[in-house]
Structure 1
């Protein structure tokens, strides 16, 4: 047995121990029931879920449910199921202990309302263990499913994706209720990551199945050539095409839903996280817990996901690239940081004059004249480091109220700075200001960098102008494209000048 099942399809089970796994664009709760011929449990002990991880013959093992058919009591069968936080397609898989796939089944929630799905039935027919794809859903979620199979549920059981993640040692996302703007964007990113991983898994399964069928066809000398060989290859290709088409259709639907959610969300985000065309840039100042720094796309490019960082910056942010080309990227970042924290004052050091557009746009926020003359750089950095140290000392001694937030922007870095300048920059980046100080460095480091530059690189978070990163949920690879300041900036001045612009 090694095939993709449709609802109702059954086949002999070729292994004595089978692992049930499932993936979707949201977190899932795996569960199982050991039931009789009427599909009822003997007692609530026959249900397996995060808070009751094992019964005789069935257990949770990491992100899988393992069924040992030889240990199942006589006359019983096993139902494998999932619960999800909202109705989404679910890709399920049965494998052996070595990881080899023996069967897959994609379950679609009926009428778009079902948040609990029966996926597989493992049962004995005469002397043979078999498996059947089910696909039955429950609009009432896990509570309805548990009750339908005779499990005593006195109150809604706390079988949530968050709790399951805690049991399995995964990072637990913030609950949907009360999410901050940055957390909402990260939740959509997580949904996109899981949807993309499910799509990739489906395509890989289809490709592996095609390879296996074509390989099996050529092992029989009588079927390697001629009309029969052509029919075998044709059937294999048609099955592959159907699987790919179904996977792409599901992925496009998921991506369209997320894109619609992003479009609606964009109008409600604070300026620092919103698109440049959002009406947020024409409203009064609104603080933000994060700043948009770019967008992510998967290799399939069905969807573009906004990508943000917390504000204020917890670490120096080093924007790497040719200083002559970094202007729009650094300008976008600085404008968004200023929008995120109304009242922030900017200290700009730019010996190479690579950020001229930024100067014109943010002049109202400067704490003093920008420094362009190389000879003035040491005094500026030393004075700023001393002032920050005194401010921190005042807070420690008498609990003085800190002054306005500070954003330090260093252009043409590190070529426009000598060793002593770099030491002063380390002092600035390591000032303890309770989130008051954010530092942006812009430029390419030299190959044989100064030891102090290495310290700064170690302390800083790097923002590549073009690069790739892995998402923290599935390890999927994403292409990162940094945000750039738009060519038309007049609509931004209301926020940057501290005033409100009317539509």
Structure 2
């Protein structure tokens, strides 16, 4: 439970790897200074800020935003650092608030690295101050604590740094604000909307502040996306725009607000990615290289969603304006026909084409930047995130610990030139998977139903193989149910490599015992967790994660077995039991409403490309492309052989 602090109050910290989560009613600059035992700041090398965001044990965001996550590892701080001061300052520039009194009170919350709340402090009572020391983490008699400070400075960041004894504080404060302004100029401009629905944060930790599409004149504000877990976007109402199209395209993520208004758009948008800045793999906040890459990939996904939404909205606006202008010409009988009417219609069409061309130029620029970033990031991805044709698999070694996420495939949009973005899902899986073996809407779907079923089995094998490869030796036990025996060819790599602890269960009589064992494990672990007796589980309860793969469902299943599958799908993930179905829903239509909850509980993926996934921001229909082993490649078999060897060495 998070302890709510008042000014001056302190609270002990239970660990040393922490996050400080900052939220404010508008964009703020976040920074950290490190003091010695006497409260002295030794120099600029003890100040983490957007222009220099990393110090040993500390990382801060690179851009002004309404929400921040600051990573702190107290054990990794430089020698002699006994105090971590969390600083907030308003960015300078025209159009922004001049003081915290014009904004809702900022809040700083200290959490563990996994997000468990420790203490929070709302910095109330600010007026003319434009900079504030929100909280401090300090070492006292060998114990780290957090204290609510709330010390504000009307003189801004420079006055705050001067008060902390930093040499050349004003020059450094000016450099920080300049760095913030440079990044803001490459970010997304705020939308001009009359009303915006509130949204929950759905992006990964530390992914705020990425470069995004620049403003473009003469198009409507795109409704800001409603973030959240998969589901439909919340409704928003766009503000009315001038009929003549004056103004600028304004579009932003609801949690990413730039520090200063963007500069006027250039006469000719640059054709290359970035503005002289080359993309870098892992250029995102995080505790490790893996987390940085994960955050960067999801940031690319957001950027592509937003820039495509901005372009589509610009085209819609141009079309609607053309329609209005033509309607005005036709509404007056005196101007409906004749040279004047023809000229008015031609001018309206020319204005429409000009708007679309300018929006397309901005889209092309942003897609080029994302493509360049994708070309840098893709080769740097570890096996859990990489495609099967990546060279990283040739140097594969069984990991010592499970990664934070897994690649299930790729996502893309129909805009020409749009890059493919890896679809990464967190581990352990929060939802099971339904690999659809039925006929899809895609024209790429094979005409032969048997070929589609075979492709679904191959995708299941690739996903299971990747899951086994990214877990430590013996960390995942896979159970295969293939009552009809139809999956033997597709599942052969799993069977032949020896990674399975038992052969696939076939026939109706083989289904029930496997499901019963897994349900017993779920029940025992849940009871042990409720009573705090996890150490006293029976010796036959496997501590490893469990994955049940059901091939060619519903063959071999009755109503009772379907109900028990539903129980595993609902209750299993919380105790390490996961479900993967390889099935055609049409084949199981006889179960009617009994099957619907199971279908909704699982994430549907397809063995052929299909545009059935919607993002939680703006509801784009994303085309999912499965992550399959290249035809003729033996990489999956070699990886599984190494998994089996490692399991044999560990006796699992």
Task: Give the TM-score range, shorter chain.
Answer: 0.5 to 0.7
CA contact (8 A) 1:182 1:310 kept: no
Structure-to-structure mapping, 1:73-472, within 5 angstroms? 85-86=210-211, 88-91=213-216, 99-102=239-242, 103-106=246-249, 118=261, 176-178=285-287, 179=291, 181-283=293-395, 284-286=397-399, 287-303=402-418, 304-322=420-438, 323-343=453-473, 344-362=476-494, 363-386=497-520, 389=523, 397=533, 399=535, 403-426=543-566, 428-429=568-569, 436-445=576-585, 446-449=588-591, 453-463=595-605, 466-472=610-616
Shift of 1:203: 0.9
Following the alignment from structure 1 to structure 2, what is the Cα–Cα distance between the partners of residues 492 and 471?
30
The superposition leaves residues 187-212 of structure 1 with CA deviations (integer Å, 9 ceiling, x where unpaired) of 21111111111111111121122222
The superposition leaves residues 68-101 of structure 1 with CA deviations (integer Å, 9 ceiling, x where unpaired) of xxxxxxxxxxxxxxx9653741247788x98321
Counterpart residue number, 2:98:
44
Following the alignment from structure 2 to structure 1, what is the Cα–Cα distance between the partners of residues 489 and 261?
59
Shift of 1:337: 1.8
Following the alignment from structure 1 to structure 2, what is the Cα–Cα distance between the partners of residues 98 and 88?
19
- C-alpha spacing 1:469/1:49, structure 2 compared with 1 (3 Å): farther
Unaligned stretches of 5+ residues in structure 1 = 1-25, 56-61, 67-82, 109-114, 120-132, 137-174
Counterpart residue number, 1:59:
none
Shift of 1:326: 1.6
- C-alpha spacing 1:351/1:242, structure 2 compared with 1 (3 Å): same
Unaligned stretches of 5+ residues in structure 2 = 1-62, 67-89, 107-126, 128-189, 195-207, 222-236, 252-257, 267-283, 439-452, 646-652
Following the alignment from structure 1 to structure 2, what is the Cα–Cα distance between the partners of residues 40 and 315?
45
Please give the secondary structure, in 2, of the residue aligned with 1:86: coil
Please give the secondary structure, in 1, of the residue aligned with 2:549: strand
Superposed CA RMSD in Å reads: 4.2
CA contact (8 A) 1:317 1:439 kept: yes
- C-alpha spacing 1:473/1:333, structure 2 compared with 1 (3 Å): same
The superposition leaves residues 428-465 of structure 1 with CA deviations (integer Å, 9 ceiling, x where unpaired) of 44565755322111112322316654453354333356
CA contact (8 A) 1:180 1:289 kept: no
Following the alignment from structure 2 to structure 1, what is the Cα–Cα distance between the partners of residues 295 and 380?
14
CA contact (8 A) 2:412 2:623 kept: yes
Counterpart residue number, 2:228:
none
Taking structure 1 as the reference length, the TM-score comes to: 0.65
Following the alignment from structure 2 to structure 1, what is the Cα–Cα distance between the partners of residues 594 and 322?
55
Following the alignment from structure 2 to structure 1, what is the Cα–Cα distance between the partners of residues 220 and 570?
52
CA contact (8 A) 1:293 1:308 kept: yes
Counterpart residue number, 2:177:
none
Please give the secondary structure, in 2, of the residue aligned with 1:273: coil
CA contact (8 A) 2:388 2:628 kept: no
Following the alignment from structure 2 to structure 1, what is the Cα–Cα distance between the partners of residues 249 and 343?
27
- C-alpha spacing 1:345/1:234, structure 2 compared with 1 (3 Å): same
Shift of 1:409: 0.6
Shift of 1:403: 2.8
Following the alignment from structure 2 to structure 1, what is the Cα–Cα distance between the partners of residues 455 and 99?
64
Count, aligned residues: 389
Comparing both chains, which one has the higher relative contact order based on Cα–Cα distances under 8 Å and sequence gaps of 6 or more? Answer: 1
Following the alignment from structure 1 to structure 2, what is the Cα–Cα distance between the partners of residues 293 and 232?
52
Following the alignment from structure 2 to structure 1, what is the Cα–Cα distance between the partners of residues 432 and 505?
20
The superposition leaves residues 376-431 of structure 1 with CA deviations (integer Å, 9 ceiling, x where unpaired) of 32333334444565566677535159533222111011233123433543454456
The superposition leaves residues 195-240 of structure 1 with CA deviations (integer Å, 9 ceiling, x where unpaired) of 1111111111211222222223334444433333333222222222
CA contact (8 A) 1:339 1:496 kept: yes
Please give the secondary structure, in 2, of the residue aligned with 1:270: coil
Shift of 1:315: 2.6
